Amino acid sequence: MPPATCNMFVVNVMLRSLCSSDLASARLFFDGIPDKDVVSWSTMLACYFSKGRLGVADGLAFFREMTFTSQVAADYVTLVTVLTGCASAGLLQPFCRSIHGYVVRRRVPASSHLGASLIHCYAKVGRLDYASRVFARVASRNVMHWTAMICGMAMHLHYDEAIQLFEKMCWRGLGPNEMIFTAVLSACGRAGLVEQGRVFFQLMVEKYGLEPSIHHYACMVDIFAKAGQLEDAYDVIKTMKVEPNLVIWTSLLAACKRFKNFDIAVEGIEKVLAMEISDENSGLYALISDLYAMGERWGDVIKVRRLMEEHNLRKNRGLRRARDLTVPTIS
């Protein structure tokens, strides 16, 4: 029970502190607040959704109690909290339109965060038509709205639309962020737009002064690798300012196998074998075995098989194909 002499600012600070440690105590404290304001309700709501999927059902029930039973008008902070909580729990489909309907009926001011959250949520559940409608009705779009829309387009394989929207954004003088460039470069890779991907990467670095992350480098390696431009892909890896990860090396090695280029694969193989490979990535051993077989490095094929056995990794179809090869006698 909060002290009767405390003002609401102090009460809400106390409630927030309880929410970070004990949900049951926070709810008991909340129930004892005599004159709850929208901040109190929003704080308690965020407390439920912070528990992930386990708190979503209680959070949605609490939201209904707030808006319907207690007739407390939700502000944009509350609505963003609900949308974000449902998104993290993968439960957007039933609630996106109902929250949007509440915004329209109650004429809740569409803040940047609320508009972007609605676009993101609709895009995440594949309703790009609704996402586009929200995007079109935002009066003053900022980078958050463009990011949500472009990433949504790219996520659902609408590559041309994502790239066109990106170009339109740049034409309007808005500076794209790192997330947008990741989405656009990924779209270029999926659509096979090699030169356009190269231009966008240069644009990111030279015009907008953004430092490429490992995600941007991975996109560029993927773009070149899928197009068979293995030397360009390898050049990207050699000039990276961060250490290449398994995803990047796997992308290159898979392309080396597809385009039958063992020479470029050799160094990648050595780098991968020096890394810690989990059981989830055990297919890499099969890929390496196939590459060694392609280069007629039969001794190395046997070493990779033994390495898999030592790590007790499951042998998949790729390894069985390598094992079925007729291996010459190694002197």
The segment(s) of the chain belonging to CATH 1.25.40.10 are 1-140
Which tens digit of pLDDT belongs to each residue from 276-288?
877 777 788 889 9
Q: Compute CA 237 distance to the chain's CA centroid, rounded to the nearest angstrom.
A: 22
Amino acid at 236: V
CA distance 34 to 32: 6
Greater confidence, 127 or 5?
Answer: 127
Query: Which whole number is the average pLDDT over 129-143?
Result: 90
For 1-140, give the CATH class: mainly alpha
Q: Is the pLDDT of residue 310 over 80?
A: no
pLDDT at 94: 67
pLDDT at 3: 57
pLDDT at 77: 87
Q: Is the pLDDT of residue 50 over 90?
A: no
* Contact by Cβ (8 Å): 212, 236: no
Q: Is the pLDDT of residue 96 over 90?
A: no
Give the DSSP letter of residue 280. Answer: G
Q: Is the pLDDT of residue 194 over 60?
A: yes
pLDDT at 327: 35
Nearest to 114 by CA among 87, 93, 84: 84
